[in-house]
Amino acid sequence: MTRSNIPLRNWLIGLLTVVLLTACGGKQTAEFKSTDITGADFGQDFHLTDHNGKPRKLADFRGKVVMMFFGYTHCPDVCPTTLTEMALLIKQLGKAGEKVQVLFVTVDPARDTPELLAQYMPAFNPGFLGLYGDEAATAKVAKDFHIFYQKQPSADGKRYTIDHSAGTYVFDKNGRLRLFMRYGQNLDDIEHDVKILLSS
């Protein structure tokens, strides 16, 4: 589940993709603490359903900074840690936090039902939204955003965890993909970058 559990080859491929996009397609902005991927030709949109049953696409959140993270509710570490940090970020931003939308895209649609997501997300922040789709929709959005995920069955074969990419994509208020924030990044740096996007 943690980065060390994700096959090294897949993690390196993902890292190389971000680096290449930054060097070749992105406009590097020294102000940002996160990886600037402005101009990336992937992750342009999504079509999923939120945990309230409402169909969602990126344009629904125009006017807000969108922070998009992929995970699953049974995750023991990375996912709850990331969502907790995002909740702290919203709190630290004060009134400006109302202009930030956190989206949690499940990579485990078999277990992460709308009902479960509706209980899970408000535990971190009532404004956070869980997004889900069927297996095909999940595979498509993961591919569109260069997200790796793979089931890891337990020894008895009755349970499983999921190895998955552990970073956050950030869109500006105009719906443009701008940043990639790595897992474990300093919260003050994240706040710094989000404030830049909120003010632009």
**Structural domains of the chain in order of their starting residue, each with its CATH number:** 3-199 (3.40.30.10)
Q: Where on the phi/psi map is residue 2: left (φ > 0), alpha (ψ -120 to 50), or beta? A: beta
The answer on whether 75 is annotated among ligand-binding residues is yes
What integer pLDDT is reported at residue 150 of this predicted model? 96
Q: What is the pLDDT of residue 186?
A: 94
3-state secondary structure of 180: strand
Nearest to 170 by CA among 107, 80, 102: 102
pLDDT at position 200 is 87
Tens-binned pLDDT, residue by residue, of the chain (200 aa): 444 455 545 544 454 554 444 444 444 445 999 999 999 999 999 999 999 999 999 999 999 999 999 999 999 999 999 999 999 999 999 999 999 999 999 999 999 999 999 999 999 999 999 999 999 999 999 999 999 999 999 888 788 999 999 999 999 999 999 999 999 999 999 999 999 999 98
Q: What is the pLDDT of residue 14?
A: 53
Hey, what are 129's tokens?
């939204």
**177-182: strand order across its sheet:** 35-36, 177-182, 167-171, 65-71, 100-106, 129-132, 48-50, 55-56
The alpha carbon of 187 is separated from its chain's Cα centroid by a whole number of angstroms, namely: 15
Query: Would you tell me how many other CB atoms lie within 10 Å of the CB of residue 163?
Result: 19
Contact between 183 and 3 (Cβ < 8 Å): yes
Q: Which residues contact 51 (CB under 8 A, 6 or more apart)?
A: 114, 117, 118, 121, 129, 130, 131, 132
**Count of residues making up the chain:** 200
pLDDT attached to residue 155:
84
